Amino acid sequence: MKILVAPNSYKESLNSIEVARHIAAGLRKASRKIRIAEVPLADGGTGTAQIITKAFDGEFKKKEVIGPLDKKVAAMYGVIPRQRVAVVELAEAAGLDLVPKGKRNPLITSTKGVGELIQDAISNRYRKIILGIGDSATIDCGVGALSVLGARFLNHANKEIELNCQGLLGLQKVDASILYKRLKRVKITIASDVKNILTGRYGALVYARQKGAKQKMLPTIRKALANFKKVILNQYGTDLDRIPGSGAAGGIGGAFHAILGAEILSGFGLVQGMVRLEEEIKTSDLVITGEGRIDKESFYGKTLKRVIDMAYIHKKPVILIAGSITQDAKIFNKYGVIQQYSLLKSSKSTQKAMRNAPKLLERLAYTIGKTIIP
């Protein structure tokens, strides 16, 4: 019997590579009769760089960069030397897990470190940059990253603004003359599955609370995003509210598209093709997938739903394993899901479940393995 283990990451707990490894370990303990294929997935968020880089036998570079709170952090990005491709993950330099919960404030967090990773890749003569932008702690519309690459963001007095969300309130003009010279021969592709536009009801503001925004901050963030949209429209003729994904990761997707001409592509689409997901599903008897939280949002185009859809097409049963699962997830039972398991049921609190996730995953996978093959 072949089991495909193809999870997404468990946000702020384990990346998808770690999740797959622990599930596979539990299954192997249960039975030697099980063949296991570990195919961790990502959609532009945590784990994207590792998965793509490993798929092409690349290597990893480490660099100390400025983190979201302007303090140094150790970051990593992948390189594929033969193709001159670098795979950069925003989360490595400006991710939510780099900011303690008590200090989360998207008005002041910055993407400067993301720019430093891109700059390092360019200085090492990598000519194509894949930038995964999931799991961000920022709503700075990428001005931090772009400033490191040479762009200047100016106020009415021709002085540089504060390079964060609250600084966007005073933005009047973008000077990208030096930036273009540095990036003349570089192509940047944005990997993201977030389709939100920049402003409005379904704009970047939707994710402000999970980045730590308090109710009183929301009007300021709304005005900052609206002003950035206005400046970009006036200067570049690009209406960011007509670009799906422009609001991803606090607007960095839209900024890179308008100012650099970056293409925004599906992170899942990039990854699933590289790891040959559909071929793995076709040759498996059972698919195990999951993510940190499964709820009604998981039904709308997320990695989890796409795996379930693919398995359903090829008539393969699916088991879901997640940190937590809401009642809404029962809808997946109509699409070939035969069992759903939550780590939270085996733990007293969310914090304990996150902390003990490796042990809980292995224990649960062992039980599943024993159930499938007595």
Q: Is the predicted pLDDT of residue 54 greater than 90, yes or no?
A: yes
On whether both 125 and 258 belong to a single domain, the answer is yes
Q: Is the predicted pLDDT of residue 328 greater than 90, yes or no?
A: no
Give the distance, in angstroms, between the CA of residue 157 and the centroid of all CA atoms in the same chain: 36
The pLDDT mean for the chain works out to: 94
Confidence of residue 75 (pLDDT cuts 50, 70, 90): very high
User: Quick one: tokens of 45?
Assistant: 């968020």
Last residue of one domain, picked from the residues 267, 289, 321: 267
pLDDT at 298: 81
Q: Which residues contact 93 (CB under 8 A, 6 or more apart)?
A: 65, 66, 67, 68, 73, 75, 111, 112, 113, 114, 116, 117
Read off the pLDDT of residues 230-280 as tens digits, 9 standing for 90 and up: 999 999 999 999 999 999 999 999 999 999 999 999 999 999 999 999 999
Domain that holds residue 357: 2-41+275-372
Compute the C-alpha angle 354/356/357, nearest 5°. 65
On whether both 80 and 110 belong to a single domain, the answer is yes
pLDDT at 374: 64
d(Cα 274, Cα 56) in Å, to the nearest integer? 8
3-state helix, strand, coil in the chain (%, to 5): 45, 20, 35
On whether both 359 and 239 belong to a single domain, the answer is no
Number of domains comprising the chain: 2
Residue 296 DSSP symbol: G
Read off the pLDDT of residues 302-327 as tens digits, 9 standing for 90 and up: 799 999 999 999 999 999 999 999 99
Last residue of one domain, picked from the residues 267, 286, 305: 267
pLDDT at 64: 98
Read off the pLDDT of residues 89-114 as tens digits, 9 standing for 90 and up: 999 999 999 999 999 999 999 999 99
d(Cα 109, Cα 160) in Å, to the nearest integer? 17
On whether both 31 and 129 belong to a single domain, the answer is no
On whether both 326 and 195 belong to a single domain, the answer is no
pLDDT at 348: 65
